Amino acid sequence: MQAVVWHGVGDVRLDEVPDPGISDPTDAIVEITTSAICGTDLHFVRGTMSGMVEGTVLGHEALGIVREVGSGVRNLRPGDRVVIPSTIGCGTCSYCRAGYYAQCDRANPNGPAAGTCFFGGPQTTGPVDGLQAQYARVPYANIGPVWLPEEVTDEQAIMLSDIYPTAWFGCRLAEVGQGDTVLVMGAGPVGQFSITSAYQQGAGRVLCVDGVPSRLEQARARGAEVVDFNAEDPVAVVQEITAGVGVDRVVEAVGVDAQRPERGPAAEQAEEQSAVFEQERAQVAPEQHPQGGTWVPGDAPSQSLQWAVQAVAKAGTIGIIGVYPPEMTSFPTGAAMNKNLTVKMGNCNHRRYIPRLLDLVRTGAVDPSSVLTQVEELPSVLDAYATFDQRGSGWTKVALRPTG
């Protein structure tokens, strides 16, 4: 079969690989009908998330048709159409039973202390081959995959695999409630759904900061008040429109590949921190292989975190769902402590939220496919990776359709 395979920093290929098979009784083999490229995948190629194993199939978002199940899978049968959660949980350990599927004690082959296990990630997460392929082995298929009704389209369902649940989770971390003024850092796909999720959880006002005009326009269409960090100082704008108080909640959906402003009043401040940012980048991405303007690690790893702490009101809450590797140690702890902030972060417990969000989609309360901007066939995946990596205008979320 064909699959997108990581061979090294700056080196991702479309390879012919062996078809997967059943290894454990709770496995299932799923024929992938739609997958997607996520910003997390780009971290692996840029080098800002290290520890990848050469030969790992990338991708952690997908839906498809069940083709084979192990003897321990009692809830699925061949022919079922399912969405696959990005993180893997056993469903029986104390963490899974409490809803913390991303901290399952059994799913990660590296042991209970290893943390999150997810598809297509580095060695510390398994590794488990990912979902940007024609077929995939899904561990703990008796727990993870969620059955899809016919009225939910592939374009809608692919958003339930990762980005919509992650955004919902981010708003839960940030403790978004009735009437809150919420700031979403980043207008990528998770940021777009964070705007929607914030309103769904009761926010009275949502602001969004980014530097890509097409993404800001999408955010505006979702009802967010947008701030272009290449034209304005985002912290100053937040202070101005909140009468000097700051926002109640922040959802940080940018992560380690944050970029510093290229122009405008915020650029000068960022330039003053250039040496610090370069030190952070060297720390999180010790190996870098940029190719022109492609696969370039973000040049301001802690920028979004700094703005989040500066923009939130005293005693406010920050939920961090942007991806940061273990090597990332920079955080404005002193400033956060002096404001009595609550800071929560983590990987989404996808299986906990997917059924509820699926019901919202099924009943027409929300159409998640509105974030999808491109659908590409698997043979053109490398071009899609490169354009998505460069944050091309109009490229917010890319779905992939494997071909037989």
CATH match of 166-345 with 3.40.50.720 = yes
Low-confidence residues of the chain: pLDDT under 50: none
Rounded to 5 degrees, what angle do the CA atoms 249, 252, 257 make?
165
- pLDDT value at residue 390: 82
Per the omega criterion (within 30 degrees of 0), is the bond before 213 cis?
Answer: no
* Exposed/middle/buried for residue 91 (C-beta within 10 Å: 0-12, 13-18, 19+): middle
CA distance 314 to 117: 35
Residue-level pLDDT at 404:
53
- pLDDT given for residue 379 in this prediction: 84
Backbone φ, ψ for residue 58 (5° rounding): -85, 170
Separation of alpha carbons 334 and 325, rounded Å: 21
Question: What confidence score (pLDDT) does residue 396 get?
Answer: 81
Closest CA to 284 of 292, 276, 294, 272: 276
Note the CATH architecture for domain 2-162+349-401.
Alpha-Beta Complex (3.90)
User: What confidence tens digit (pLDDT) does each residue in 306-336 have?
Assistant: 999 999 999 999 999 999 999 999 999 999 9
Distance of CA 125 to the CA centre of its chain: 15
Domain boundaries, the chain: 2-162+349-401, 166-345
